[in-house]
Amino acid sequence: MTNAATLPAGRARPTPASAAAPAGRILSWLRRRIFASWRDAVLSLSVVAVLGAIAWAIVPWALLDASWSGASRADCTGTGACWAFVAAKAPQFVYGFYPPAERWRPDIALALLVFGLAWLMVPRLPGKRYAGLFMMIVLPLATVLLLHGGFGGLAVVPSDQWGGLLLTMILAVSGITFSLPFGVLFALGRRSRMPLIRWFCIGFIEFCRGVPFLTVLFMAIVMLPFFLPSGMKPNPLALAVAGIIFYEAAYMAEVVRGGLQALPKGQYEAAMAIGFGYWRTMLHIILPQAVRKVVPGVVNTTISLLKNTTLVMVVGLFDLLNIVSAGVSDPLWAGSQAEGYFIVGLVFWLMSFGLSCYSRAIEAGFARAERS
């Protein structure tokens, strides 16, 4: 439909610059995008100056003057970062206290995760519905069984030994996978015609939005034992996973509600007029559109979920941040805070940035499909 002839004149594509020589092309790009006016030029140059200053501060420390190997902090003689610390602690940062001989088990779990993600995200692969089921049912069950063991000759590794990046991934992946579906249910419940369901959902959502996650976790670990039969102790990991899923689901619910409200009444009526009942209308007509409208909000909540996983230290879990904190206090490596937290920051930034990129790809895909 959209070919050059039908485009309004104002939106016609600029003539391809391929005719000009490369150097001329760069110059013309600079003139158009950087130095179009003196105000643009000042702004652009200030940005360049700030970026330059940041790089000037970090690059020598992180790369040029860094020490890369050694058995203790004393071996780090350079004036820059002591990456020997990270190298020595890397296995612990990744697996926590998971027994070294059994670390192939988390590796397999990670491979399953990568497989599921690829299946879900690569557009050409078929059976997306089954990929969803795989992520929501097969992957969690397989991961728990594999990591815990206790069958078929696999030694039991209790969950208090799982830690580091492994634990962070468990919390993040289960939170991301389940908070949206539960959030959708809470959002629908909030608009339900049945008052009890509506009140319950409103109460739950407002409770979670009103209380810091740290408080929720803390209350759960302190108060839950009072309600359980004596001698039964709640598993901190299970508690943390459930806490993250439901806490973030409350936020997802509000994001999704925004999308639901943005849909015209005609969509409900058209679905009903065909003969769709409530659930089919929601599943096939309303939710696909509502969720598409709120992808940025969903990703925003997901990123905050990711960072909230670091709070599980209050229930005694050693996620990536907590285990790095523990490593930093090792007397052999005293004074390695900067390196440790730099790495934690980098890992979280990479994960969040990956989510952002994925979200933009999704939005672009929707825009292409609807060309609205």
Partner 1 sequence: MENPLIQLANVNKWYNQFHVLRDIDLEVRRGERIVVCGPSGSGKSTMIRCINGLEAYEQGTITVAGERVDQDDDNIEKIRQRVGMVFQSFNLFPHLSILDNLTLGPIKLKRVPRAAAEARAMELLERVHIGHQALKFPNQLSGGQQQRVAIARALAMEPDVMLFDEPTSALDPEMVKEVLDVMIELAGTGMTMICVTHEMGFARAVADRVVFMADGAIAEVGTPDSFFSAPRTERARQFIQQVIH
Between 100 and 370, name the residue whose CB sits nearer to partner 1. 370
Choice from 31, 128, 191, 284 touching partner 1 (CB under 8 A): 284
CA gap 329, 319 in Å, rounded: 16
Choice from 108, 270, 332, 334 touching partner 1 (CB under 8 A): 270
CA distances (Å), origin 102, targets 105, 155, 305: 6, 8, 29
Say whether residue 127 binds partner 1 (CB under 8 A): no
Task: Point out which span in 4-12, 174-182, 253-261, 269-277 binds partner 1 (CB under 8 A).
Answer: 269-277
Q: Give the x-and-dash track for 287-316 against partner 1 (CB under 8 A).
A: -xx--x------------------------
**CB-CB contact of 143 with 109 (8 Å):** yes
Neighbours of 214 (CB within 10 A): 13
Say whether residue 6 binds partner 1 (CB under 8 A): no
Closest separation in Å from C-beta 269 to partner 1: 6
Closest separation in Å from C-beta 289 to partner 1: 5
Closest separation in Å from C-beta 91 to partner 1: 46
Task: Point out which span in 108-116, 268-276, 300-308, 310-318 binds partner 1 (CB under 8 A).
Answer: 268-276
Burial of 277 (0-12, 13-18, 19+ CB in 10 A): exposed
Say whether residue 3 binds partner 1 (CB under 8 A): no
Closest separation in Å from C-beta 369 to partner 1: 7
Neighbours of 183 (CB within 10 A): 26
For residue 128, give both structure tokens: 């997306």
Residue identified by tokens 């096939």 is 284
Closest separation in Å from C-beta 297 to partner 1: 18
Q: Which is nearest to 364 in space by CA: 271, 275, 280, 296?
A: 296
* Residue 211 DSSP label: S
Task: Point out which span in 140-148, 165-173, 273-281, 356-364 binds partner 1 (CB under 8 A).
Answer: 273-281
Task: Point out which span in 32-40, 42-50, 93-101, 286-294 binds partner 1 (CB under 8 A).
Answer: 286-294
Between 198 and 280, name the residue whose CB sits nearer to partner 1. 280
Say whether residue 364 binds partner 1 (CB under 8 A): no
Task: Point out which span in 61-69, 132-140, 180-188, 271-279 binds partner 1 (CB under 8 A).
Answer: 271-279
Q: Which is nearest to 239 in space by CA: 256, 259, 219, 254?
A: 219
Q: Which amino acid is at 350?
A: L
Rg (CA), the chain: 26
> Nearest-5° angle of CA 307, CA 312, CA 317?
130
**CB-CB contact of 207 with 215 (8 Å):** no
Residues near partner 1 (CB under 8 A), total: 24
Say whether residue 240 binds partner 1 (CB under 8 A): no
Give me the numbers of helices (H) and strands (E) for the chain, helices first please: 16, 0
Say whether residue 267 binds partner 1 (CB under 8 A): yes
For residue 348, give both structure tokens: 């979280």
The residues, ordered by sequence, that sit 6+ positions from 167 with a Cβ below 8 Å of its Cβ are 96, 237, 312, 317, 318, 319, 320
Say whether residue 272 binds partner 1 (CB under 8 A): yes
Task: Point out which span in 252-260, 265-273, 306-314, 343-351 binds partner 1 (CB under 8 A).
Answer: 265-273
The contact set with partner 1 (CB under 8 A) reads 1, 264, 266-267, 269-278, 280, 284-285, 288-289, 292, 369-372
